[in-house]
A and B are shown apart, each in its own frame.
Chain A
Amino acid sequence: MLADWLPVSTKQMSIQATLLLQGAQRILFRGLAANQHEDTLERYYYHDSQQLCKKKVSLSSLFFLRPPIPDLYPISSQLLRSSFGATAKRNEVCMAKLGTNMMSTFDRPLLVRTASLLAGSFALGLVVNSMRPSGVALFAFEPPTVCTTANKQEGLITEMTPHEAMRLCGRPEIIFADTREHDRFAAGHVADAMHLPCNISASGAEIALKKLGNVQTVVLYGESTEDAREVADTLRRLGVDTEIRILRGGFAAWEQEGLACTSGPCKECSISDSKETSP
């Protein structure tokens, strides 16, 4: 196996011997053997590259793809260089085929074209965006908060029945928060509940979080128990350490029990209204 990777094979040695002979011929008969000499050189390189191609060379073995040692041919070193230039292209073809020549796989024109495509379309995207009325605000973009169960923080979130929740009504350290959409909230909600929907704007969420920081317990309710739990998990993730309770069954259960609710704009609607200012 080791012999397979030796740079000079028997075949190559015979070619080199031929070259030496031809070098001597060139000394004796200047110019007469020039063409023959070049032809033999090409055979040498071509043979070298073909052997390596067949053997699926590793990157390190590319070191063997080199011109013959100039010391062997002191007389014709210039000719060697010119011949190597001609055959180098052939070697590149071989190397590119094997995928071992990284510069052939990712050549400069390819990289330039790729960079042009990416940079050009990026620039065009910015121009088109600035011209569109519905374009996104690049510097004034304000995303809404996101309800997620990621990175849940420690802190108990308990469920409570509507009747249990009703006993907390009217206490200043307790606040109810409605997590439903704006129109559902406007149609009817627990008296004095604040509006804290999943898609509230960042500024609205900031106000809500400040308010929640001043109370002891927040009772969340949505269309269902799970709706409110998403918001509860998000509040925990955002670092709210207030006691959080969830109204089991959501607003439907509250209504079914015939407990107090109200409709229309509420005191806290300024929080949800800020949602409309977000893009």
Chain B
Amino acid sequence: MKTALTWALRLGLGGMFLLAGALKFSDPTSFALEIHNYQFLPALAPWLAATLPLMEIILGATLILAPRPWARASTLASILILLMFTIAVFSAVVRGVNITCGCFGEGSGPVTITTVFRDVVLVGAAVALFTLLRQDKPVPNERVA
């Protein structure tokens, strides 16, 4: 059960990152505009647009294919990135900035409270995966009951 859940989360999160990265990778300039539209650290927009898509692809591939220690590291990195996304979309919703999400390239739909909720769920899934991937060393035989 635990193994099945671990693999479901690895495939789900990894697949989502691969898809999101691939869609953004094709047009980095449009993605830079999407990031800039958030009006949240706009100076970083071109840098994030140049690096985030490939980062998502690598993290997605590592989540699915890498051995457990690297998959766990990838999960931790994913949590950090998803937290950043969550803060960005939450900030946009709070400020009432009417923009498209850009989460999966063009045509991702507008940023709404649903987007924030989705990101929170994804952070929760990543944290759950991080916990499941923790190495449990066998406890030595009990001598004192």
Inter-chain contacts of B69 with A (CB < 8 A): 109-110, 113
Give the size category of A's interface with B: 35 or more
Number of B interface residues in the complex (CB < 8 A):
44
CB distance from B47 to the nearest CB of A (A): 6
Contact flag A138-B50 (CB < 8 Å), given A110-B73, A114-B77, A117-B73: yes
A113 touches B55 (CB 8 A): no
A46 touches B77 (CB 8 A): no
CB distance from B2 to the nearest CB of A (A): 14
B29 touches A279 (CB 8 A): yes
* The stretch of A89-97, A155-163, A260-268 that contacts the partner chain: A89-97
A144 touches which one: B33, B49, B134 (CB < 8 A)?
B33
B115 adjacent to chain A (CB < 8 Å)? no
A141 touches B45 (CB 8 A): yes
A110 to B33, CA, bound (A): 34
Contact flag A47-B144 (CB < 8 Å), given A136-B28, A148-B97, A150-B97: yes
B72 adjacent to chain A (CB < 8 Å)? yes
B29 touches A43 (CB 8 A): no
Chain B: interface secondary structure?
helix
Chain A: interface secondary structure?
helix
* The stretch of B6-14, B101-109, B116-124, B135-143 that contacts the partner chain: B135-143
A102 adjacent to chain B (CB < 8 Å)? no
CB distance from A140 to the nearest CB of B (A): 9
Contact flag A93-B144 (CB < 8 Å), given A136-B28, A148-B97, A149-B96: no
Contact flag A134-B28 (CB < 8 Å), given A121-B54, A150-B96: yes
CB distance from A113 to the nearest CB of B (A): 3
B32 adjacent to chain A (CB < 8 Å)? yes
- B32-54, CB under 8 A of A: which get 1 and which 0? 11001101001001110111111
- A118-140, CB under 8 A of B: which get 1 and which 0? 10111011101100101111110
CB distance from B61 to the nearest CB of A (A): 10
B86 adjacent to chain A (CB < 8 Å)? no
Can you report 27 residue pairs joining A to B where beta carbons are below 8 Å apart? A50-B142, A93-B137, A113-B69, A114-B77, A117-B59, A117-B73, A118-B55, A120-B58, A121-B54, A121-B55, A121-B59, A125-B50, A125-B54, A126-B51, A134-B29, A135-B50, A138-B50, A143-B33, A143-B36, A143-B42, A143-B45, A146-B36, A146-B99, A148-B96, A148-B97, A148-B99, A150-B39
Name A residues whose Cβ lies closer than 8 Å to a Cβ of B: 11, 42-43, 46-47, 50, 90, 93-94, 96-97, 105-106, 109-110, 113-114, 116-118, 120-122, 124-126, 128-129, 132, 134-139, 141, 143-144, 146-151, 279
